[in-house]
Structure 1
Amino acid sequence: MGVLKNIAILATIGSITYVTRRCLIGRRYCSSRKFDNKELIIVTGCTSGIGLAVVKELGSRNCHLVLGCRNLDSGEKTRQLLIKQFGNDILVDVFHVDFCCLSSIAGFAKRITDLQKPIYALVNNAAIFYHTPQQTIDKLEQTFQVNYLGHFLLTLLLLPTLKQCTIGARIVNLVSKAHLAAQVCPDLELHEKFEDTPNNRFRAYQYSKLCLVSFAYKLSSLLAKSSVSVHCVDPGNVETAIYRDFPQLSNKVSFYLQKPIRLLTVKTPYEGAQAVLYAILENQAPRFYIKEFSSQQDESGEINPIAKNPVLGDSLWTLSRQLCHLTHFSQLNKVQ
Structure 2
Amino acid sequence: MMAFSSDTVPQPQNPSKRRGSSDLPCGNFFRRCFKQLWLFTYMVYILTLDIIEHIFIKAPKIEIEELEKRSEQVAVMTGGPRGIGNDIVKKLLQLDYTVILGVRNESTSQKGIDKIRDLGVTTGRVKFFYLDLKSLESVREFANKVLDSKEGSRIDLLLNNAGIFAEGYEKTGDNFESTFQVNYLSHFLLTNLLLPRIKETATKNGAGDPCHIVSTSSCLHRCGTIDFEELETSKVYSPLECYCLSKLCQIIHVKMLDKKFQEEKMNIHAYAVHPGVIVTGLWDDMGGFKCFKRPFNAVMKWIGRTSDEGANTILYPLLTPDLLDKAGGHYFETGNVVRPDNQANQPEVQQSLWKGSLKLTTSIC
Q: TM-score when scaled to structure 1? A: 0.81
How far residue 89 of structure 1 moved from its aligned partner, in angstroms, is 5.2
Question: Residues 118-171 of structure 1: CA distance to partner in whole angstroms, max 9, x if unpaired?
Answer: 111101011111121111111111001000001100111111111122121000
Equivalent in the alignment of 2:219: 177
Q: Which one-letter code corresponds to 1:229 in the other structure?
A: H
**How far apart in 1 are the matches of 2:122 and 2:62?**
26
Instruction: Give the match for residue 4 of structure 1.
Output: none
Residues 32-47 of structure 1 mapped to structure 2, 5 A cutoff = 32-47=66-81
Maintained 8 Å contact 1:140/1:193: no
1:56-82 CA distances to partner (integer Å, 9 max, x unpaired)?
Answer: 122211110111112222222223333
Whether the 8 Å contact between 2:81 and 2:113 is mirrored in structure 1 is no
Structure 1 segments, 4+ long, off by >6 Å, are none
1:48 equivalenced with 2:95 (yes/no)? no
Provide the residue aligned with 1:236 in structure 2.
Answer: 276
Cα RMSD for the two superposed structures: 2.4
- 1:192 paired residue among 233, 251, 274: 233
Distance 2:177 2:305 in 1: 29
Q: Confirm whether residue 145 of structure 1 aligns to residue 181 of structure 2.
A: yes
How far is 1:25 from its partner? 4.4
Unaligned runs of 5+ in 2: 1-51
- 1:246 aligned to 286, 307, 326, which one? 286
Amino acid at match of 1:222: K
Provide the residue aligned with 1:207 in structure 2.
245
Residue aligning to 1:100: 134
Identify which of 48, 54, 61 aligns with 2:95.
61
Q: Deviations over 1:190-218 (max 9, x none)?
A: 5137655xxx1111111111111111111
CA contact (8 A) 1:105 1:154 kept: yes
Larger RCO (CA under 8 A, 6+ residues apart): 2
SS of the residue corresponding to residue 348 of structure 2 reads helix
Aligned residues: 299
Unaligned 5+ segments in structure 1 are: 1-18, 327-331
Q: Measure how far apart 1:219 and its partner are.
A: 0.7
Match of 1:10 in 2: none
SS at match of 1:59: helix
Question: In structure 1, what residue type is equivalent to 2:352?
Answer: S
CA-CA distance at 1:260 after TM superposition: 4.9
Q: After the TM superposition, which residues 81-160 of structure 1 pair with which residues of structure 2 at under 5 Å, given as runs? A: 81-86=115-120, 90-115=124-149, 116-160=152-196
Answering whether residue 334 of structure 2 is matched by residue 292 of structure 1, we say: yes
Residue by residue, what CA displacement relative to the aligned partner does 1:76-103 show, whole Å, maximum 9, x if unpaired?
Answer: 2223333444466531101110000011
Residue identity over aligned pairs, in percent, reads: 27
Give the Cα separation in 1 of the matches to 2:194 and 2:53.
41
Q: Tell me by how many angstroms 1:21 deviates.
A: 6.3
Instruction: Answer yes or no: is the 8 Å Cα contact 1:190–1:204 preserved in 2.
Output: no
Query: How far off its partner does 1:189 sit?
Result: 2.8
Residues 253 and 354 of structure 2 are in contact (CA less than 8 Å); yes or no, is this contact kept in structure 1? yes
Does residue 80 of structure 1 match 2:114? yes
